[in-house]
Structure 1
């Protein structure tokens, strides 16, 4: 899947830019990029593999932007990042053997629950709250579990990380967004390594989309840091509802 018309190439570029923009703020970029690749003729596994390649650029771009402004401490997050990458690698291995579509049945309902949580919960802002799970247990239990899902299927992983950081780790929305991007980047590395080894990545298109994702993530992360919860909360709710609706319509 290397030779595409100019129209389809522009479509993929635009989808990747939008995916990078949305994903850097609220997660869910995979539900923009993956359908676009399937639309132009990618096989499901090739779309997953190529999405991990281009996703590296978007999540990496956003992570650097947030880290430069001090919203995430990279040194303290090395352990969780490694676990996210390992979980994603295991999930990606299974993705080459079993259909990730098994998640489509219940994923929309989980996304709706996340949207309701962020939409209804009062006084949710950028101030940290009391955590319900220690950093050690959070990194050991939650991070690799979401990473596994990210490697096996992917779409919505950022929303799951966001929910976990806010509800369990007690993070404010901006801090949760920044740490979500770091773990997304790590899980993209794990999944990418497996898909690259298996040989299901379209490198030319993946790199082109990666450049678009990089640019979109820069714009989105700067907007999030400027506006904080004022933009993160509504976009997160809208994204979750939109992803849930898309998955239900696909079924």
Structure 2
């Protein structure tokens, strides 16, 4: 194929697909790209998805276009490898998604009324998905919850599935009681394996509390990470103003600087 498409700034999706094909060409492609497989590319796919979420979280709209492009490229990469094995093509990926969206939105693309609330649509969506799982012979309530999801997200999805059939606490009070119970069991654990198990149980119940409170635990933890990074940066800045680094300080001083940064943040919100 001519290089005209490769260098066409307005080549759109055909250009990207051709670039990917050329990168994977066994004779003239990039050695790194040729050496990859589904397993080696999967971690990059997950990373790019998080970078999209990060740009949105920071409202970095100027970066979002590029991050979405990076994520799209991951889909193109996987589809190219699949095409080389005769599994499916990128067009088939797009058609599969289109078919799914049409099937799951009969109130938009079919004859059902679209006079329904978002909550009703969510319930309808879950009903349709349950039928799809049944068609795939997924018999267990928890079948089909992807193993590769981040652990907190997978915990929430498992709990949501169980809740649909009534296996759930009726309110947050029972969940908080369970958190207290699990924390005590963690305190009493002795050997390393038991400690790890109890710590996992505590995290699982914390994810359940997030679900009951309609909180995304991944988003909440990302926000906590950002807050910690911001406040620790303030500690570093305060020490740097005196020509010092954190290792030149001690816990008591850094705690005071942390509290000062916390107070400034609260004042700024008032």
TM-score (ref. length: structure 1): 0.27
Structure number with the bigger relative contact order (C-alpha 8 A, sep ≥ 6) is: 1
Tell me which structure has the larger Cα radius of gyration. Answer: 2
Structure ranking higher in helix proportion: 1
TM-score (ref. length: structure 2): 0.25
